Amino acid sequence: MKRASTHDAIIIGAGPAGTSAALALARRGWAVAIVEKSAFPRRKVCGEYISASNLALLDRLGIGDAWRGEAGPEIRRVGLFSGNASIEAPMPGARSRPAARNGFGRALGRDILDTLLLDAARSAGVEVFQPCRAVAIERDGDRQAVRIQATSGSPGEEGMTLRASVIVAAHGSWEPGPLPSQLGKQSRSSDLLGFKAHFTGSALPPDLMPLLTFPGGYGGMVLADRGRLSISCCVRRDVLARLRGSLARERGGHVPAAEAVERHIMATCRGARDALADARLDGPWLAAPPSS
Ligand SMILES: Cc1cc2nc3c(=O)[nH]c(=O)nc-3n(C[C@H](O)[C@H](O)[C@H](O)COP(=O)(O)OP(=O)(O)OC[C@H]3O[C@@H](n4cnc5c(N)ncnc54)[C@H](O)[C@@H]3O)c2cc1C
């Protein structure tokens, strides 16, 4: 790794916010660096649905055609699965909108979307430092210095310092950390914790995107790319603790948070249960903030 480098802007985080900002600046001739702690492709807690109104933006970012080539089926109906009730309606505006290029929203896994965006940024000349974590931001004369550390796991690998007058903190809001932009959080019982999984072999109609409600939380399901169903949800911290506690007592041992969430949804939301009855988990459940 080089030990020091100077740019016009340093962007911390290669989610959609970071890569979009990087692309916009690089196309205006700025020298831009992105620092991303995870190796891509990586999955992320997210519903992965993008509405039709956002597709013009993907075109401007230069990934519209690639997104259309990869994303799941068009979502023409919205639904609500709550308790034993399942209701649905046409996607608002879909009837009146001409069946144009951007007629309906679709879902694409964040492992694919974020990689498309980062590749586009790289092609626009953005220098990518990955997997590298930004560990400090300090003033350095009329610039800011960002210290970064490789997260590749190679012990003893040296860190380096990047300098720029503009720093964009696009690292998301979930994780605590040492950066001045990572604000301290107090844990509250009403906090909503995020969970997400992919399943294959679901029975969800491919054009339907239901909102799910269940005691203590809500979420959504949608068919994304390659036949993967994306399910994501938020659950109150206190409800999750109660669910885990009663399962642990039943079983006499530790119960992972995601397992408690999945069982809770399946027990209380018939539409979700029907959609996932014969489905198989595709990769592990993810949590935000990460939990065990
Ligand atoms: C349950 C749930 C469902 C959702 N469903 C949808 C949906 O269907 N459609 C939709 O449009 N939005 C959805 N969202 C919202 C969407 O996920 C966020 O708006 C989006 O991820 C925010 O993007 P971002 O680029 O700001 O941050 P993120 O996507 O969080 O990206 C931040 C990046 O920064 C990196 N990073 C963090 N710290 C550091 C560091 N110190 N150094 C280097 N890198 C770092 C992370 O690894 C990550 O790649 C959902 C959110 C949740 C919680």
Residue-wise pLDDT tens digits, 36-88 = 999 999 999 999 999 999 999 999 999 999 999 999 999 999 999 999 999 99
Domain 4-47+111-169 superfamily per CATH: FAD/NAD(P)-binding domain (3.50.50.60)
Specify the residue with its C-alpha closest to ligand 1, atom 8: 47
Q: How confident is the model at residue 183 (pLDDT cuts 50, 70, 90)?
A: confident
d(CA 266, CA 51): 27
Residue 189 is predicted with a pLDDT of 94
Residue whose pair of structure tokens reads 């992972």 in the numeric block: 256
Separation of 195 CA from ligand 1 center, angstroms? 13
Separation of 113 CA from ligand 1 center, angstroms? 12
Among 194, 234, 196, 204, CA closest to 72: 204
Ligand 1, CB within 6 Å, residue ranges:
12-18, 35-38, 44-50, 133-134, 170-172, 175, 177, 194, 232-234
Per-domain residue ranges for the chain?
Answer: 4-47+111-169, 192-288
133 Cα nearest atom in ligand 1: 42
Per-residue pLDDT tens digits for 188-214:
999 999 999 999 999 999 999 999 999
pTM for the whole thing?
A: 0.94
C-alpha neighbours within 13 Å on the C-beta side of residue 196: 21
Q: Return the SS3 of 216.
A: coil
Q: With contact defined as beta carbons under 8 Å apart, do 78 and 207 qualify?
A: no
Separation of 172 CA from ligand 1 center, angstroms? 5
Which of 37, 110, 160 maximizes ligand 1 atoms within 8 Å of its Cβ, making it the mutation to test the pocket?
37
Separation of 142 CA from ligand 1 center, angstroms? 30
The amino acid sitting at 159 is G
Residue 118 is predicted with a pLDDT of 98
Report in angstroms the alpha-carbon separations of 138 from 83, 166, 167: 51, 12, 11
Give the CATH number of domain 192-288. Answer: 3.30.9.100
16 Cα nearest atom in ligand 1: 25
The average pLDDT across 248-266 equals: 95
Helices (H) and strands (E) in the chain, counts: 7, 18
Q: With contact defined as beta carbons under 8 Å apart, do 131 and 151 qualify?
A: yes
CA 257 to chain CA mean position, Å: 19
Residue 92 is predicted with a pLDDT of 74
Tell me which DSSP letter residue 228 carries: P
Separation of 141 CA from ligand 1 center, angstroms? 32
49 Cα nearest atom in ligand 1: 8
Separation of 173 CA from ligand 1 center, angstroms? 8
